[in-house]
Amino acid sequence: MAPVTQAGYAETRGVTRQYINKLTKEGRLRTIGPRKMIDPAEADQVLGYATEAAPDEEAPPAAAPVLDPDPEPGPSPRPAPATPADSAGMNYTRARAATETFRAKQAELELKQRMGQLLPRDMVVEAMSEAGVRIARHLDRLVRDADEIAEVAGRGGAREVRQMLRQKVRQLRAEIAAEITLTDEPGGE
């Protein structure tokens, strides 16, 4: 390939000219001639971009991407646009990464289930339904206590009713908490 300017190469790869210049000053990229041009194939290899090989030669193995521990301010480097030669490889890589991510999440869920940290949805729905029935049964007692509440209202007024209701609510909370506890089996037994 013919040498290109640092600015021209940076533009094709979506990185800043300053970033390419920094790599040349650090000696990671070799410059050619007095204009300090660079070989795009060599730069691609250093930056980890896939390049197309000529039909009669084998493509050199791609070097690992150079990670800049102290990047220049400005836009972050973007990966090169996919070319027809590397799009199939990128699709495979993405698909493989998605598959591995799925398998890892699935294994994590299975482990949590074995350790008792996850419960089947049906079991949770059944337990919540049963808890709702138990709570409703306790709250229905307030309706049955209407006569007692009316009697207290006639004797002592609103202040006495408030006191009585507070006492009944505390009692209901304690009874509900005692009856609805975490158990291994639905049904509280």
pLDDT, tens only, 143-170? 888 888 888 888 878 888 888 889 988 9
CB 77 within 8 A of CB 22: no
Q: Which phi and psi angles does 94 have, rounded to 5°? A: -65, -45
Please state, for a pLDDT cut of 90, what percent of the chain lies above it. 12
Q: How far apart are CA 161 and CA 63, in angstroms?
A: 82
Nearest of 78, 63, 70, 82 to residue 15 by alpha carbon: 78
Predicted confidence band at 60 (pLDDT cuts at 50, 70, 90)? Answer: very low
Residue 108, SS3?
helix
Look at residue 6 in the predicted model and tell me its pLDDT: 92
Predicted confidence band at 182 (pLDDT cuts at 50, 70, 90)? Answer: low
Nearest of 54, 46, 43 to residue 85 by alpha carbon: 54
Q: How far apart are CA 112 and CA 115, in angstroms?
A: 5
User: Which element (helix H / strand E) includes 32?
Assistant: strand 31-32
Look at residue 78 in the predicted model and tell me its pLDDT: 55
pLDDT, tens only, 62-91? 444 444 444 555 555 555 555 554 555 667
Residue 183 has pLDDT above 70, yes or no: no
Residue in the structure block whose two tokens are 């350790």: 115
